[in-house]
Structure 1
Amino acid sequence: MSDAALYQTLKSVHIILVTSWFAGLFYLPRLLVYHAEAQDKPEIEKTILSKQFEKMEKILYNAIMIPAFWLTWISGISLIYLVWWDSFGQQPWLHLKLAFVVCITLYHFYCRHLIRSFRNQNFILSGNQLRLFNEIATILLVAVVFIVVAKNTLDWMYGLLGFVAFAIAILSAVKIVKKLREKAN
C-alpha cells in the first residue's frame, strides 16, 4: 500500500472512530440527565429506572466509548507520525487541535466519574446542570472540526471569537429550553 493510500485509509478509520466516540459522548450525558431526574419519581419507579439507566450507562461506556476512545487516539497518533511528524513544530493548528482533544479526553473521564457517582447514589449534578454539561461535547467537536478543516488559513482571532459566540449560543439555547419546559409544567 502506498503512503497516500495508507494515509487515506487511516484518516477514514480515524473519522469513523471519532464519530463512534462522540456518539457515546453525546448520548451518555443524556442518559445521566434521565437518571438524575428519575430520582424525583416514586420509589418503585425510581428503583426500576435507576437500575436500567445504570445498565445502559455501563454498556455504553465500556462497549462503545472506551474502545472508540483508545482507537481514536491510536489512529490519530498514527496519522501524526505518518504525515505531520517531520513538521510537527511548525503546525500550530495541530497543537491547538491536540489541546482540544485533551479537553475532550478530560470530558470523557469526567463522564466515567459521573457514572460511578450516580451508581453510588451520589447525584453531584442536577438534570439542568447535566443538560449544560451535555453541550460541552458539541462545543468541543465544533472547535476541532473548524481547526482541522481551516488549518493554517483560519485567522485565529476570528476563529476564537466565532467559537465563543457559538458556545454562548448553545448555552443560551439550553437556558431558553429550560424556561420553556418550566412554563409547560
Structure 2
Amino acid sequence: MLYLYAKAVHIIFVITWMAGLFYMVRLFIYHTEARQKPGHEYQVLHRQFMVMESKLWWIITTPSMYLAVAAGLTMLYIAPGLLQAGWMHVKLAFVLGLVTYHFVCQRIMFRLMQERNKWTSIKLRLWNELATVMLFAIVFAVVLKSAIHWVYGVLGLLLLSMMLMLAVRWYKKIRERC
C-alpha cells in the first residue's frame, strides 16, 4: 500500500515539476524578448519577470522536482527489483537528463536576473522542446516496457523532435512576417 501512495505522490509532483519547467522557459522567452523594449519599459518588465521567475522556481518547480525524485526513490526502495528492468535504466537516464535540464534552467534564470543571458528567444523555444522530448521518452519507457516497442519508440521520438523543430522554425517565420 505504501508503494501506491509513493506512486501517487510521484505522479502528482512529476506533473507539477513539468508544468513549472514548461512555464519557466516560456517566462525566459518573454523576459528575453522584453530586452527589445525601450529602457524604462524594459526595466519594469525585467523586475516583474524576476519576481515571477523566482516565485515559480523556488515555490513550485524546485520543490516539485525534489518531491518527485524522493517519491521515485521511495518506490525503488520499496520495490528494488525494478532496478533490474531495462526500461527502468532508460527511464532513470532520462530522469537524470531532466534533472540536468532543471539546473541549466536555474542557471539561465540567474543570468537573466543579472542581465547576462546570451540565449535568444529562438534558442529558448528549442530548449523548451527538449523537456517535451524527455517527458515523452520517460512516459513511453514506463508504459511500453517491452524491448520490441523501443524501435517504434525511438523512431517516434526522432519524429517528434523533428516536428517540434519544424514547428519552432515555422513560428519564427510567422513572427518575422508580422
TM-score (norm 1): 0.92
Amino acid in structure 2 at the alignment position of 1:120: Q
Show the counterpart of 2:127.
133
Show the counterpart of 2:31.
35
In structure 1, how many angstroms separate the alpha carbons of the residues matched to 2:5 and 2:44? 45
Q: Which runs of 5+ in 1 are unaligned?
A: none
Q: Give the % identical residues.
A: 39
What is the RMSD computed on CA atoms of the aligned residues?
1.2
CA deviation after TM superposition for structure 1 residue 64, in Å: 0.7
Amino acid in structure 2 at the alignment position of 1:168: M
The structure-2 alpha-carbon separation of the partners of 1:80 and 1:152, relative to structure 1 and needing over 3 Å to count, comes to: farther
Show the counterpart of 1:123.
117
Tell me if 1:72 matches 2:68: yes
CA deviation after TM superposition for structure 1 residue 157, in Å: 2.1
Q: Which runs of 5+ in 2 are unaligned?
A: none
CA deviation after TM superposition for structure 1 residue 87, in Å: 5.1
Show the counterpart of 1:58.
54
Q: How many correspondences in the alignment? A: 178
CA deviation after TM superposition for structure 1 residue 158, in Å: 2.1
Show the counterpart of 2:160.
166
Tell me if 1:92 matches 2:86: yes
User: Does structure 1 retain, via aligned residues, the 8 Å contact 2:82–2:88?
Assistant: no
For residues 62-115 of structure 1, the C-alpha deviation after alignment (integer angstroms, 9 at most, x for no partner) is 1111111111111001111212x13523x0000000000000001100000001
In structure 2, how many angstroms separate the alpha carbons of the residues matched to 1:109 and 1:51? 22
Amino acid in structure 1 at the alignment position of 2:81: D
Show the counterpart of 2:21.
25
